[in-house]
Amino acid sequence: MDNSSNFDDNSDVGYQPSPSSVDQNDHSITENVGYSPLFSGESFAYCRSNSEVSNFSEPIDDNSFASEPSPSLWTPMKHGASQAALSRLGVKQHRHSVDEKSDDLDLLETELDMMRERFSKLLLGEDMSGGGKGVCTAVTISNSITNLCATAFGQNLKLEPLKPEKKGMWRREMNCLLSVCDYIVEFSPTAQYLEDGTIVEMMTSKPRSDIYINLPALQKLDTMLIEILDSFQDTEFWYAEQGSISGNSTRSRGGSFRRIVQRKDEKWWLPVPCVHTGGLSDKSRKHLNEKRDCANQIHKAAMAINSSALAEMDIPETYMSNLPKSGRTSLGDTIYRCMYSADKFSPDHLLDCLKISSEHEALELADKVESSMFTWRRKACLSHSKTSWNKVKDLMADTDRSDKNYILAERAETLLFCLKQRYPELSQTSLDTCKIQYNQDVGKAILESYSRVLEGLAFNIVAWIEDVLLADKSMRNQNV
């Protein structure tokens, strides 16, 4: 599983199915899915998502519509209908004098044609040949959200407000993608009173519970993250490229000689935060700490929603069929003996003994523990009458708790939980990747991808703030 991603305009934002470009035809799903750090910024060293340039948000030049007409099935719309449609999509409607009405109409039609083209590609499932070889709708929308986030936030590597055009594109196109959720409903019986007083029971529709609860929360987190970035306008810090002198930075400051705090890590691609020789003021430092705490809470909330969405996705049969025959062979004799022979299993002690030194090692261990856990669960359930491995957790309740495989599966689950607690920014495991790749539930795909990209953005903001606070601390220590 490729956990690397680059997040500039071809950036890397969560899951992800690392979405394939819409202009690439007949690519297999396995080529489209990869999961790793979100952005190419500091935070994305461990963030759980990546992507390439947005297909849904790809730039279109003025000549694109002349060479690539809209699909013939799209019927022309009158000006009034165009305005109503664009209003629903959040597209800005321009109002000028009577002499400019024709120009406004041309602009509206151009924007509407652009939306038609992008939605056509969305409905084709990233298969421009029309031959039905595209991915399913759930994966397509998940890819679109990931790509859109990469396009909107991919070049944003600093604590500064998002550019107005990027912010407008993010809000407008997310409204389009999220509008699908308006039609995902569930039916429930409701009492209806007729005019004669008779009570009848009728089935009425209401928003699906997981979407009704989580989607408004994600939209609120989205707004809060944008507000955090908008709060960094007139700041006491500025940025310079790594290795450059402060005089070459984009923001000039009074004075001639200021030292830039050099990075001691390998994040050479990130701009370096710079502060005055005396450090930041108390007000600015307090503001940074408050925003860091807020972004950290947003990160935890988005991660919780993402984990919940992934947990509710069915385990693909493909994953179950490719499980190792022996959990012991997968984990190795050393870990197996620690898990099975100990009377009181301590996952924390085992992790301390393993001395994991990198995210790659932690992710590799997580994959092995997870696959071994399901291997032992499958063996523990072999005698059960049911055969659906998607419900394997339910089957464990009917299994003898003294069974060897049951004990090992429970300890593997505990070890995996502790491992994820110790490395909260761990990239998605092979099971998570497989779930997203084969998921066909559009609602779960939207919740998973939306929460993932917000999780990555929040993690980035926390890291950028900590960079500034570290630079402030270094400058203050130099004056002591």
Q: What is the DSSP annotation of 38-75?
A: SSSSGGGGT-S----S-STT----TTHHHHSPPPTTS-
Q: What is the mean pLDDT of residues 179-198?
A: 89
Q: How confident is the model over 267-304, as pLDDT tens digits?
A: 667 788 888 888 889 999 999 999 999 999 999 999 99
- Please say if the pLDDT value at position 41 is more than 70: no
Distance CA 366, CA 359 (A): 10
**Structural Rg of the chain based on CA atoms:** 26
**Percentage of the chain with pLDDT > 90?**
34
- Please say if the pLDDT value at position 224 is more than 90: yes
Confidence of residue 215 (pLDDT cuts 50, 70, 90): very high
Identify the CA nearest to 51 among candidates 37, 70, 72.
37
pLDDT, greater one: 448 or 31: 448
For 332: left if phi > 0, alpha if psi spans -120 to 50, otherwise beta; the answer is left
pLDDT, greater one: 249 or 285: 285
Paired tokens of 6: 């680059």
Q: What is the mean pLDDT of residues 166-191?
A: 91
> pTM score, two decimals?
0.70
The position carrying tokens 């947003």 is 298
List of domains in the chain: 315-438 (1.20.58.1310)
How distant is the alpha carbon of residue 443 from its chain centre?
Answer: 15
